[in-house]
Amino acid sequence: MQNNNLPVAIIGGGAVGLAAAAHLAQRKMPFVLFEAGSSVGANFLSWRHVRVFSPWKYNIDRAAEKLLSQTDWVVPDKEGLPTGKELVEDYFVPLANHPAILPNVHLNSKVLTIGRKGLDKMKTAGRENKPFSIKVNENGTVQYYEAKAVIDASGTWNQPNPIGSGGVLAEGELELYNNIFYGIPNVKKEALGRYKNKNIVVVGGGHSAINVLLDLADVQNDFPATQLIWVLRKKDVSAVYGGKEDDALEARGALGIRIEKLVKSGKLAVYTPFHILNLTKNDSGIQIEGDFNGKAETIPNVDEIISNTGSRPDLEMIREVRVDLDSSLESVFDLAELIDPNIHSCGTVRPHGEKELRHPEKDFYIVGSKSYGRAPTFLMATGYEQVRSIVAYMASDFKAAESVELNLPQTGVCSSNLGSVNGTACCGTEEVVTESADSGGGCC
């Protein structure tokens, strides 16, 4: 690796970015970490009230745990299920405050562009010997940093997909932005006033949508005038129920059981497959026009829309970096065949590391959920193994870099043939409920 006196730049202070910092600190390699939010794990705090369905034992990186064991950190119950808030407060913040990490963390620092110093994307001669130049908006001031390598763990959470059919904005979606929430609102507490006794449409077919609907069902019990409508693009609502009792993660299976019960209760109107085309607003509320089972249909008099249609990676900041991305998923190219929901119904993924994550731009890596692009099934444990392998490679520990392992809980339902729900067994799927998406084919 060239420019050895420079740090490795980590983009993003979430689970995987902090794990990269822990591995670099463990190997005593200089690094700098840029987090756009005012706290590490800022994206996790946006769904602070949501309890993930994977226990702590899957959510703590090994190098991070080793660093934290040197402090007075209290180890969480490894079988417990943390909320987004608990992940940040009980794990991310203590890790970021570790003396080996804290001096290198830059909060309120949004990376604007990444490139090679003095070279645009087209220039090849001497490219690998040039440091990376990183333009950062840091507390409102533009700063430039140089780095010998870049690990992009910026995720996809702040890039929600639109609710319109075909992955594009529906007509009127921008104009009605104030009536659409992209994410997982805390409908039982802070956002209760916005949603109680309202006619609410939830769009999306993943675990994020399921969590919102189950919370709204509790609101409906207390405020019976609340009306719930679920809009999905899937051919059959049963595709979202997952493995239920057969799921190796009990809490994940319970989500499928509970949402199936809610659907059958009649307290939730389901439109699937429904493709939203137009949104208009009149004195009666929002009118949602779309294609429902091949026919024009209007869902009338809607007060609020909650969108859980997944996310997509921000590729603008890496426009001057030579990357190799899959044309459909926008994932790292070599991962596409492992995670494509058009092929795998439950996110089959074999162990992968530095080799699969390489790009034409030497010493540049995309990791975490951003490495999966638009695919919905990323999990934290996968990201931890990604950065462990990459950092080992950077440290010239090639044997460790090549030795990658993943031990993931099974979903209890999967298929390599989307014409059937019974197929070959596969590894587990997503661990962070908020990174699910309605991707039309993936059961997870």
- 349 band by pLDDT with thresholds 50, 70 and 90: low
Evaluate whether residue 434 is within a structural domain: no
Distance CA 411, CA 255 (A): 12
Evaluate whether residue 401 is within a structural domain: yes
Structural domain that includes position 232: 165-309
For 274, the enclosing helix (H) or strand (E) is: strand 274-282
Q: Among 309, 333, 358, give the residue marking a domain's end.
A: 309
Say if residue 273 is preceded by a cis peptide, omega within 30 of 0.
yes
Residues 94 and 106 in one domain: yes
The CATH number of whichever domain residue 175 belongs to comes to 3.50.50.60
Residues 363 and 302 in one domain: no
**Average pLDDT over all residues of the chain:** 87
Residues 152 and 17 in one domain: yes
- pLDDT above 90 as % of the chain: 72
Task: Quick: pLDDT tens for 43-56.
Answer: 999 999 998 888 89
CB-CB contact of 107 with 39 (8 Å): yes
Q: Among 282, 309, 336, give the residue marking a domain's end.
A: 309
Q: Is the pLDDT of residue 20 over 90?
A: yes
Evaluate whether residue 444 is within a structural domain: no
Residues 223 and 94 in one domain: no
Evaluate whether residue 187 is within a structural domain: yes
- 84 band by pLDDT with thresholds 50, 70 and 90: very high
Residues 207 and 239 in one domain: yes
Evaluate whether residue 323 is within a structural domain: yes
Distance CA 126, CA 133 (A): 15
Task: Quick: pLDDT tens for 239-294.
Answer: 777 666 655 566 666 788 888 899 899 999 999 999 999 999 999 999 999 999 88
Residues 183 and 153 in one domain: no
Evaluate whether residue 431 is within a structural domain: no
Task: Quick: pLDDT tens for 287-315.
Answer: 999 999 889 999 999 999 999 998 999 99
Helix-helix angle 380-394:15-26, to 10 degrees: 30
Residues 293 and 349 in one domain: no
Evaluate whether residue 441 is within a structural domain: no
- Number of structural domains found in the chain: 2
Task: Quick: pLDDT tens for 132-186.
Answer: 999 999 999 999 999 999 999 999 988 999 999 888 999 999 999 999 999 999 9
CB-CB contact of 389 with 354 (8 Å): yes
The predicted model scores a pTM of 0.87
Q: Among 249, 275, 309, give the residue marking a domain's end.
A: 309
Residues 33 and 143 in one domain: yes
